[in-house]
A and B are shown apart, each in its own frame.
Chain A
Amino acid sequence: NAGVTQTPKFQVLKTGQSMTLQCAQDMNHEYMSWYRQDPGMGLRLIHYSVGAGITDQGEVPNGYNVSRSTTEDFPLRLLSAAPSQTSVYFCASSYSMRGTGATIYFGEGSWLTVV
């Protein structure tokens, strides 16, 4: 059981470049989300999805785009990378966030540096 898988693990981008962080889960989870983690800021929610075809913005959505075409995959796209997007990105999933027992499980993280 792979759980939540993120790729790539490390990436260096130049300012203005675009890229996609991949996230896949094999637990048939309804809910998937992307967080960024910065020193002194904690985990902040970027975007989330409650099912295929349904996405919504989190706390810090600007500069990022998401789509959910399948239950398993939830890619995060950086449209035009900026140094402020240098961060560690975590994908997380949960069976459901509607009731109790909404435990979310995290991937191993993607370290992104924008120069």
Chain B
Amino acid sequence: EDQVTQSPEALRLQEGESSSLNCSYTVSGLRGLFWYRQDPGKGPEFLFTLYSAGEEKEKERLKATLTKKESFLHITAPKPEDSATYLCAVQASRSGNTPLVFGKGTRLSVIA
């Protein structure tokens, strides 16, 4: 069974205090690992897709990295507007249409 575990559940940072969010996964062959951002009262918004170990992607203050067992979302010098819940999801490489399996998310609060 495909599983995704995100840690910590909640993270509180001061503005400018860099940190990382963790996404550990168990999947029978990885087709893709996805990061989403979700603001309160909104639907998840796509951030990144990673496909193979060693891959990295960046967007503004966010950088996502991938190993064979986990992914990290690094947040450099965060600002209050980075406060949101960050969701990780995996897609297994089974044949055909394979739905995404999501973790429970990390709720990030950045305090000015």
Contacts and interface: CB of A to CB of B under 8 A. Distances in A.
Interface in B49-91: 49, 51, 87, 89, 91
Nearest to A97: B97
A26 B16 CA distance: 39
Interface in A65-106: 90, 92, 96-98, 100-106
B7 to A, nearest CB: 13
B99 A97 contact: yes
A109 B103 CA distance: 18
Contacts of B89: 43
Contact of B41 (A33, A96, A107, A109): A109
A48 B91 CA distance: 14
A53 interface: no
Contact of A97 (B41, B51, B98, B103): B98
A98 B91 CA distance: 10
Contacts of B42: 108-109
A96 B98 CA distance: 10
B87 A43 contact: yes
Contacts of B29: none
